[in-house]
Amino acid sequence: MIFRIQTDEVAVADKMRRRKRFRLTGEGLNCKLWIYIAEFYRPQKARGALVQLTGRKVKKDSSEDMYYA
C-alpha cells in the first residue's frame, strides 16, 4: 500500500529526505510544503513511521480516513 505524507516542517522533511523508502513527489513553490510517498505493507507500520518522523502521537480523522500528527 502506498501512503502519502505531507508536511510543512523542515525537520520532518529532512528526515524523510534521508530515508530510502520515501520519495519526494511534490513541493510548495511559495510556501514550506513537501509531499512524500512511501510504500508500507501494513497501515500499522506507516503509523509507526509517522510517530518516529514527527515525535508526536498519531490521531485519526475518521471523516476523511486520514491520520495526522
Residue 68: is its pLDDT beyond 90? no
CA distance 42 to 44: 5
* Segments making up each domain of the chain, as ranges: 2-68
Predicted model pTM: 0.85
Residue 10: is its pLDDT beyond 90? yes
